[in-house]
Chains A and B, each alone.
Chain A
Amino acid sequence: MKGLKYAIPLVLFAALVAFLAVGLTRDPREVPSPFIGKPAPQFKLTELAAPERTFGPEDMRGKVWLLNVWASWCVSCRVEHPLLVDMSKQALVPIVGLDYKDKRADGLQWLATHGDPYRLSAYDDEGKVGIDFGVYGVPETFVIDKQGVIRYKQIGPITKEALDKTILPLVRKLNG
């Protein structure tokens, strides 16, 4: 039938609505990560500021710490960065950076400009560690407990609300 083509927009719209409806049931910021409750993947990476030194999660064993995935090319990282700088000034919890798919010089320059809240940053230039951690996008932040188990994952920038209501209480609880 010739008139049927006029119904194409309606059909396309129906498909769009179906997707939007499913989308509504999900929170784009909360991905149920299969890594929560599992030991953090092991890795050995050079430090961003000192290529001769290496870092691995076992170096932090016995401490509750945050692993914050960032990059100099990441726009949303600038949103959360002042909060991280603030946290490090108050020494609330050690934060380790994972500079993800970045150039070393760019990463260092970025820290020089925006402030460096990290105990150190591991340098993941190929993004392999990021894949092991199931990183979907930058920034992401993992809360890792004393036994090296991932307890929480923040997708997207850390907000003041997430920090005060979720991350810091969790850190306090894990620290006992």
Chain B
Amino acid sequence: MIPELGHFALVVALSLAAAQAALSFTGAATGRHALMGASRPIAIGQFLFVAGAFAALAYAFVTSDFSVVNVVEHSNSKLPLQYRFAATWGSHEGSMLLWTLMLGGWTFAVALFSRHLPERLVARVLGVMGLVSAGFLLFILLTSDPFERLIPAAAEGHDLNPLLQDPGMVVHPPMLYMGYVGFSVAFAFAIAALLEGRLDAAWARWSRPWTTAAWCFLTLGIMMGSAWAYYELGWGGWWFWDPVENASFMPWLAGTALIHSLAVTEKRGTFRAWTVLLAIVAFSLSLVGTFLVRSGVLTSVHAFATDPRRGIFILLFLVVVVGGSLAIFAWRAPRVGLGSSFAPVSRESMLLANNVLLGVALAAVMLGTLYPLFLDALNLGKISVGPPYFDAVFFPLMAPAVFLMAVGPVASWKRARLPDLWIRLRWAFGVAVVAALLLPFLLGRWSPLIAFGLWLALWLVASAVAQLVQRLEAAPQATLGAKLRAQSLSWYGMTVAHLGIAVFILGVTIVKGYETERDLRMAPGQHTAIGGYDFEFKGVREVPGPNYTAIQGAFDIRRAGSPQVVRTLYPQKRMYPADGQTMTEAAIDTGLTRDLYVSLGEPVEGGAWGVRVYHKPFVDWIWGGCVLMALGGFLALADRRYRVKRAAAVPAGAAAQGAMP
């Protein structure tokens, strides 16, 4: 009964989403308040019904209802509770439902937090989101029904893919989808503003917090995926330029450009057409990513069951949503005007350079991802594009962007003078150069690439420090505490996010430059030394798990030359009888300055095992940097002006304000 209720909830949600779109657009076009006023409650109702459907599916998974096909295929009664719950989005059908739930959640949030905005704008925003939601609900009902019954019911399920039975996989997809789908808000604001013919500073200010929030979630989602690949796939890599990874990275690049472009539009009123295009592109890439992942046009290590009908549906949907919005852009954008001018050296010009570089990097990633598809469509053969291409094009594009990232915040709007910039940053520059030249010797090996990577990161840090010092000196307050409090949260947010990039670059540079890896066979009692640590293989034993049996190795780790065991690591090989898969579970000793990583390979004769041992210095800084970036975003979201504006605007009846100073 519950699955039927879930299915019915989806049907109701679809009709509500269609009504949400139709009433909002009609109301906005004719100016009828009753229609526009209806969009908000309908949007809330739509969310509640989608949430109900999701709860029904989650219930079927948690109670192991093996009369539902989806549950049979992706769960098992022996699966621990948290994974039975996570299995709700472990299938194609479930993850599309999760996507729609997230969209409903964002719509709900817009409906709640938009009371200070002009009525017609809100109606159009909710209309666009309703349209997108209707498309996805239709997609689920027509091609990916998660509630399909199996008669007679199965006795036991096939189990969730063991790769997904991991805490990271419980949080990774929801975070990623929060980010993906969150760009729909910026997209809806952009379309509404184009229809309205008003792309001004107020519009940019309203879009900014939504965009930043989505970007933060996407950053965290990508980070979790990368960390998961690192400890779960067992070969110590953290980014593979796999098509599915790229599908999440492209919206991130577009979203990053959008955040910066919105800042310029808000503060200076320029870049308007460009900002609105980026808002369309960021969400369109989320949709294209969905298409690439779900249609099976590209091969990837992320294997999903594919169905040609799904591909055709999403492609048609893409044509309607992306094609439609780009057509509106082509039609309305010529009228939005250019905004104020700026000098070749100014904060605007640097943000423009940042946008161009991010845009080109995005195009390069997209080209690399789709190149096999292009060649195939032109009958020029099948190829795959690997990490060498992406590394070769991506890093040279990002290096100047990172360089400018340190200068941009110091430069003044409209016109900056190079000599001033030099005076403000020369110490930072000098410190970064000297430290980058010397540090590699301390770390053990000097190479130009390592020095360059360190220099970029240190340059970011040093210029942020220089800027902080100068801002504090300039602040009129009496005490240091008061001076620190006087700086806005959005400034702190930006600085923390930029420092996150620095931390990320440090991690990548040091791990690429100094990691050591050993692939060897070890018999019990044998030692191996790596990165200043001694590993002793103590042998293996069998340990039972809830739905698997594992062979578990034990490795005593000592500092070289010391008799004391620092830690014992227990890597496992898990056998999942339900679907006959074997999984490698690496054991990692995580530390601030290094990870020690052991994974078991295959048994070889005489009780010996193939073993893989890694010493990965600073690898966790890669993810730490991502967390800092997201933290910076959340800090910026907490900035007073968003709250003050809201509080002030509500009683005033939500009139739009003009350009900000």
List chain A positions with a Cβ less than 8 A from chain B. Answer: 2-3, 6-7, 9-10, 13-14, 16-24, 26-29, 31, 75-76, 78-79, 82, 85, 109-110, 112-115, 136-137, 155-156, 159-160
Contact = CB atoms under 8 A, between A and B. Distances in A.
A6 B298 contact: no
Contact of B377 (A22, A31, A160): A22
A93 B79 CA distance: 34
Given A21-B315, A137-B384, 6 more contacts: A3-B334, A6-B333, A17-B318, A20-B318, A113-B601, A155-B382
A125 B433 CA distance: 43
Interface residues of B, number: 51
B443 interface: no
A112 B610 contact: yes
A40 B377 CA distance: 28
B373 A23 contact: yes
A112 B521 contact: yes
A19 B312 contact: no
B267 to A, nearest CB: 24
B291 interface: yes
A13 B374 contact: no
A114 B377 contact: no
A56 B442 CA distance: 53
Interface stretch (B117-125, B176-184, B322-330, B476-484): B322-330
Contacts of B319: 17
B474 interface: no
B660 to A, nearest CB: 26
11 contacts: A6-B330, A9-B280, A10-B326, A13-B322, A17-B319, A20-B315, A23-B297, A28-B382, A78-B235, A113-B519, A137-B384
Interface of B: 235, 240, 273, 277, 280-281, 284, 288, 291, 295-299, 301, 303, 308, 311-312, 315, 318-319, 322-323, 326-327, 329-330, 333-334, 370, 372-374, 376-377, 381-384, 519, 521, 580-582, 601-602, 604, 610-612
Nearest to A109: B519
Contact of B330 (A9, A113, A136): A9
Contact of A23 (B377, B381, B612): B377
A79 B582 CA distance: 10
- Chain A interface, DSSP helix/strand/loop, else mixed: helix
A143 to B, nearest CB: 20
Contacts of B301: 75-76, 79
A10 B299 contact: no
A114 B573 CA distance: 12
A113 B612 contact: yes
B284 to A, nearest CB: 8
B298 A17 contact: no
Nearest to A21: B315
Contacts of A6: 273, 329-330, 333-334
